[in-house]
């Protein structure tokens, strides 16, 4: 008796394996197999004389598969089975072009074609853990071009995948220096040393750590000065942006020292033409030592 089997998942463009399970008559064996896959669009591939052939259906639809077998006893048997070939999905996606350190968002436009989409598998091309959600966001640690692959499966078990290059732009490098010795009430100079390998720097945002800030746009000079009313440790943040919209920030600590409190003493009784001894009583407040004294005795004559 002629008979054959095939996989439970039947998708277009897949290499489908057909397996002969025919049973010959008593005392004989099968000598010939004639397959007709009901797919005349496949040309000569529509027919096969193999025992266990495979066939690719290039279009979804209903196909009548026929197997005729002949035995050594001169007998023949034919079996026809109707199968449905499901359309495979079409994997489609786009992605933002972003700067290093920012998350790239992926937009999934895949189509099920048969049934509905049931699973997604994203490989971001940077050896990170794949994502299984429809539209992930992924941060790339370094700039460059990454080959990202999306594989989708529909409810018929059919699979499709697509790979696209994702561009991650290099960001600028924020950097600055400042005066080393700084006291309350004095102007502190900040010197920008930022750079960018893409485009040009077009904005500097200085946060002075005391509630004050300054925003400077190209082509203005980006170096700034700022005075602090009170001593203390301040966290200075410089954020820079380049012409591609990429940003970077750097933080540095700045110590503002307390000014000394000048004071002195002198004798309570002082007479003309006699030496008056003055005693420095300066309070250092922030520590250190006094190394310059400037006295004015108010006696120009």
pLDDT over 90, % of the chain = 74
Residues 157-181 pLDDT 10s: 999 999 999 999 998 999 999 988 7
- Rounded Cα–Cα distance for residues 211 and 271 (Å): 53
- Rounded Cα–Cα distance for residues 290 and 279 (Å): 14
DSSP annotation of 46: G
DSSP annotation of 56: E
The pLDDT confidence band at residue 278, using thresholds 50, 70 and 90, is confident
Among 114, 13, 87, smallest CA distance to 54 is for 13
What does pTM read for this prediction?
Answer: 0.71
Helix, strand, coil percentages (3-state) for the chain, rounded to 5, are: 0, 50, 50
Kindly report the CA angle at 9 between 5 and 14, in degrees rounded to 5?
95
> What is the pLDDT averaged over residues 111-117?
96
Q: Is 111 exposed, middle or buried (0-12, 13-18, 19+ CB in 10 A)?
A: middle
Among 18, 6, 1, smallest CA distance to 79 is for 1
The pLDDT confidence band at residue 283, using thresholds 50, 70 and 90, is low
Backbone angles phi, psi at 251, to 5 degrees: -120, 135
- Helix (H) or strand (E) segment spanning residue 61: strand 61-71
> What is the pLDDT averaged over residues 176-205?
92
- Rounded Cα–Cα distance for residues 162 and 149 (Å): 6
> What is the pLDDT averaged over residues 57-83?
96
């Amino acid at each position: 008796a002629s008979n054959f089997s095939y996989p439970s998942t039947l998708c277009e463009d897949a290499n489908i394996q057909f397996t002969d399970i025919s049973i010959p008559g008593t005392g004989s064996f099968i000598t010939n197999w004639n397959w007709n896959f009901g797919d005349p669009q496949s040309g000569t591939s529509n027919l096969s004389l193999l025992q266990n052939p495979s066939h690719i259906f290039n279009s979804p639809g209903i196909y009548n598969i026929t197997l005729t077998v002949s035995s050594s006893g001169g007998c023949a048997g034919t079996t026809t089975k109707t199968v449905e070939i499901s359309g495979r999905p079409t994997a489609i996606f786009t992605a933002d072009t972003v700067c290093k350190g920012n998350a790239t968002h992926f937009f999934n436009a895949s189509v099920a074609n048969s049934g509905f989409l049931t699973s997604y598998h994203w490989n971001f091309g940077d050896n990170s853990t794949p994502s299984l959600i429809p539209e992930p966001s992924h941060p790339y640690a370094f700039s460059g071009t990454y080959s990202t692959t999306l594989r989708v499966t529909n409810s018929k078990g059919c699979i499709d995948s697509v790979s696209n290059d994702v561009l991650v732009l290099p960001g600028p490098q924020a950097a600055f220096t400042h005066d080393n010795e700084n006291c309350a009430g004095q102007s502190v100079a900040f010197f920008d040393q930022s750079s960018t390998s893409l485009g040009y720097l077009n904005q500097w945002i200085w946060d002075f750590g005391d509630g004050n800030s300054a925003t400077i746009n190209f082509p203005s000079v980006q170096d700034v000065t700022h005075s602090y009313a009170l001593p203390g440790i301040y966290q200075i943040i410089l954020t820079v942006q380049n012409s591609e919209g990429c940003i970077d920030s750097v933080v540095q600590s700045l110590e503002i020292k307390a000014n000394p409190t000048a004071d002195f003493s002198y004798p309570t009784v002082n007479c003309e033409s006699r030496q008056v001894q003055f005693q420095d009583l300066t309070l250092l407040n922030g520590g250190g030592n006094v190394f310059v004294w400037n006295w004015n005795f108010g006696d120009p004559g």
